[in-house]
Structure 1
Amino acid sequence: MAEKILSNKSNLQVIYEDNHIIIVNKRAGDIVQGDKTGDKPLSDVVKEYIKDKYNKPGNVYLGVVHRLDRPTTGIVMFAKTSKALPRLNKLFAEKKANKTYWAIVKNAPDKPNDTLINWLKKNPKNNKSTAYPKEITESKKAILHYKTLKALDNYFLLEIELETGRHHQIRVQLSNISSPIKGDLKYGFDRSNKDASISLHARRLQFTHPVSKDVIDVLADLPDDPIWKACEA
């Protein structure tokens, strides 16, 4: 399992890199791709890292394979070659990349382990999704599996495996069972985290490399925060 931080330049934590792929541990507040805020995206930071490390002239190729919400931390993978990008996109589309998330929640779920099935509908006006027990117009089915890993002093640590990848899926489905994620004001937590993050971390990614066919298994270090550190104890 690749756990070692390979580079920490400019606060960019590279946890895996080869000729075709680069995987980083995203910080809270970073945006993966440019948006209307005009803030510098993580994709540009990674391009600068590659350009500097390999003394590349001209523009650097980088393909965005998947995204994380801005206040979320953890694993984000990019394609370094045009050969790898469609193969990685297919990998994710066919659900052959196993993603594991950790979430710190306010209340213990009624069941320590369970599968949640809802239909989610996104409201573009407030960038928020709502969970419904049955299918409604323009809703999408959402399935996740969770298990309780640890009881903390005031919170609970859950591990989540996604079957589907819907807008704000983990956030809204956990909120729907009265277990909102720490710091997530949008979905029912009562106060924000000091750094405006939410306590949701893309912890692990396992997949078969689309070019080399090697099995890749990476783990992203937890944020430098006392409550997250208690999760490792």
Structure 2
Amino acid sequence: MKLRSNKDNLQVLYEDNHIIIVNKRAGDIVQGDKTGDKPLSEVVKSYIKEKYKKPGNVYLGVVHRLDRPTTGIVMFAKTSKALPRLNKLFSEKKATKTYWALVKNKPKKANDTLIHWLKKNPKNNKSTAYIKETSDSKKAILHYKTLKALDNYYLLEISLETGRHHQIRVQLSSIGCPIKGDLKYGFDRSNKDGSISLHARQLEFTHPVKNEAIKVIAPLPNDPVWDACL
């Protein structure tokens, strides 16, 4: 997948002196990896450098990540003061993230809590979900509710209690509801742009410096099926 965001088309959802929140496109990689592709963090640095005419290096801290084929909210810290505070916010689960996912199969229950033990295989970058604890597995908990029935898909809203590798993807797949386009976890065909239909829709948190409540909503990708969700 190609990086789709650049400094000129970056979708900034919120920005102040300490924080910048962007709407990640499918294909954007949040932080550098073995592919050597330019990460979204470098795109954001370029945006800041140009917008504020900053000489020298631009500071930017990665607070959390999203899988490359997913879309939605990603937060970065613009100051070294904000980064540890934001990290603490997420580690103490004081930041509430809400995801939207499109699945083809109707869940047996409209609303439910899923509890699995996930085991990651680094060789194929894939996680497996188990009903019972197994060696080297980590407990994973998510809550979902069905928001809407579309012509061919169901729109689910998801909130996480844990943050495991590919957690939403593997847990939904384990109940027979793989995410649209997610070949890795059992969907029958890919999306044309290589994305999967998983979107980090909303983020609520208390600002670590200003101490005020912030709520950010990420617009959905430009796609007919997503358009039908609104």
Cα distance in 2, alignment partners of residues 10 and 196 from structure 1: 22
Instruction: Choose the corresponding residue for 1:145, options 125, 143, 146.
Output: 143
- Using the alignment, how far apart are the partners of 2:7 and 2:82 within structure 1? 25
Task: Give 1:170's aligned residue.
Answer: 168
**What is residue 3 of structure 1 aligned with on the other side?**
none
Identity %: 84
Which position in structure 2 is the counterpart of 1:229? Answer: 227
**Whole-angstrom distance in 2 between the partners of 1:177 and 1:108:** 10
2:121 matched to 1:114? no
Q: Residue 212 of structure 2 corresponds to which residue in structure 1? A: 214
How many matched pairs? 225
Alignment of 1:1-233 (within 5 A): 10-232=8-230
Equivalent in the alignment of 1:5: none
1:36 Cα deviation from its structure 2 partner: 1.0
In 1: Cα distance, 2:221 partner to 2:92 partner: 30
Compute the displacement of 1:11 (Å).
Answer: 2.0
Q: Does the aligned pair in 1 maintain the 2:7–2:43 contact within 8 Å?
A: no
**Given residue 176 of structure 2, which amino acid in structure 1 is its aligned partner?**
S
Q: Provide the C-alpha distance between the structure 2 equivalents of 1:47 and 1:209, rounded to a whole number of angstroms.
A: 21
Residues of 2 paired with 1:201 and 1:41: CA distance? 19
Return the alpha-carbon distance in structure 2 between the equivalents of residues 231 and 9 of structure 1: 29
Gaps of 5+ in 2: 1-5
Paired residue type of 1:51: K
CA distance in 1, matches of 2:204, 2:227: 23
Given the superposition, is the C-alpha separation of residues 51 and 65 from structure 1 closer, same or farther in structure 2, using an over 3 Å criterion?
same
CA RMSD of aligned residues (A): 0.8
- Provide TM-score, normalisation by structure 2: 0.97
C-alpha distance in structure 2 between counterparts of 1:132 and 1:191, whole Å: 25
Q: How far 1:180 moved relative to its partner?
A: 0.3
TM-score normalised by L of structure 1:
0.96
CA distance in 2, matches of 1:154, 1:101: 20
Displacement of 1:10: 2.2
Q: Secondary structure at the match of 1:11?
A: coil
Question: 1:119 offset after TM fit, Å?
Answer: 0.3
Contact 2:147 2:157 in 1 (8 A): yes
Indicate if the aligned counterparts of 2:7 and 2:44 stay in contact, CA closer than 8 A. Answer: no
Deviation at 1:106, TM superposition (A): 1.2
Q: Which amino acid aligns with 2:29?
A: I
CA–CA distance in 1 between the matches of 2:141 and 2:183?
23
Instruction: Supply the AA of the counterpart residue of 1:205.
Output: L
Q: 2: distance between equivalents of 1:52 and 1:18?
A: 16
Q: Give secondary structure in 1 for the equivalent of 2:112.
A: strand
Instruction: Name the SS of the counterpart of 1:86 in structure 2.
Output: helix
2:220 aligned counterpart, secondary structure: coil
Q: Deviations over 1:8-30 (max 9, x none)?
A: 95221000000000000000000
